[in-house]
Amino acid sequence: VSRADAGVRVWALPGLPEIAPGDDLAALLAAARGAPFGPGEVLVIAHKVVSKAEGRVVSLDEVEPSPRALELAAQLGKEDPRHVEVVLRETAEIVRAQRGVLISRTRHGFVCANAGVDASNAGEGRLVLLPLDPDASARRLRASLPGRPAVVIADSFGRAWRHGQCDVAIAIAGLAAMDDWRGRSDSFGRELHATCIAIADEAAAAADLARAGKDAREPAVVVEGLGRHVVEDDGPGAAALVRAREEDLFG
């Protein structure tokens, strides 16, 4: 028995060029797709290319570290206090600063290492920031893409008690953030109390599996088979996934 046709298919869009500030990302994605996106398709795109297209890139040359950045860099053993300065500018609240690791709550409410500021694949002497308003970026992309696919913007986040990183959704347009089974019944008719599946995060994780690797420049991935979670309205975005600070269950 094979039901490969009925399941979920995930594949990377080939041929996307290196993205620079000001590039028309939607046009480049449309060209890479070659045909309109199909109904029910979800485009998952690494935040880094969105940030680059939007000019959310900082040259370390132009950064003057504050006393606080110098102090934190020394405390954490970070080589470049200018990098720490950029992280602090993107940070609403420092969640942890210990053992060489700086965990921030960003202005969007995401809790992640270095406030999402990343030097990898940024180019020499440059840092890539998270988009200013990722959900707005996702909505703009969706509106501009032929076939109007659902759009998820993804980043790799660490986890509190587990090694390794998983891609999660930092922005969503047109896909349900969650599939909420609370109040529905299980297969024995018993009410399910706490089952709320983070569909968009699982789609981001699935998309990451289809990338050949971090050095392979395959930032855009198509996920097919999630049509029942795709919605006409853009929806509340990844903002719906952020727990309010006072609701933290684990942190």
24 HSE (CA, 13 A, CB side): 7
Q: Are 94 and 103 in contact (CB under 8 A)?
A: yes
Rule CB under 8 A: is residue 95 a binding residue for a second copy?
Answer: yes
Site for a second copy in 6-25 (CB under 8 A): 6-15
Binding-site member from 64, 67, 77, 162 for a second copy (CB under 8 A): 162
Query: In the complex, what is the shortest distance from the CB of residue 11 to a second copy, in angstroms, rounded to a whole number?
Result: 3
Phi and psi (nearest 5°) for 137? -60, -40
Give the whole-angstrom CA distance, residue 220 versus residue 153. Answer: 9
Binding-site member from 163, 183, 232, 233 for a second copy (CB under 8 A): 163
* Number of residues binding to a second copy, judged by CB under 8 A: 89
Site for a second copy in 199-218 (CB under 8 A): 199, 201-203, 205-206, 208-210, 213-217
Phi and psi (nearest 5°) for 40? 85, -5
- Bridge-based pairing state of the strands 150-158 and 42-46: parallel
First CA to last CA distance, the chain: 44
Closer residue to a second copy, CB minimum distance, 218 or 234: 218
Rule CB under 8 A: is residue 145 a binding residue for a second copy?
Answer: no
Rule CB under 8 A: is residue 57 a binding residue for a second copy?
Answer: no
Closer residue to a second copy, CB minimum distance, 95 or 136: 95
Closer residue to a second copy, CB minimum distance, 85 or 155: 155
- Burial of residue 85 (CB within 10 Å: 0-12, 13-18, 19+) is buried
Query: In the complex, what is the shortest distance from the CB of residue 67 to a second copy, in angstroms, rounded to a whole number?
Result: 25
Rule CB under 8 A: is residue 183 a binding residue for a second copy?
Answer: no
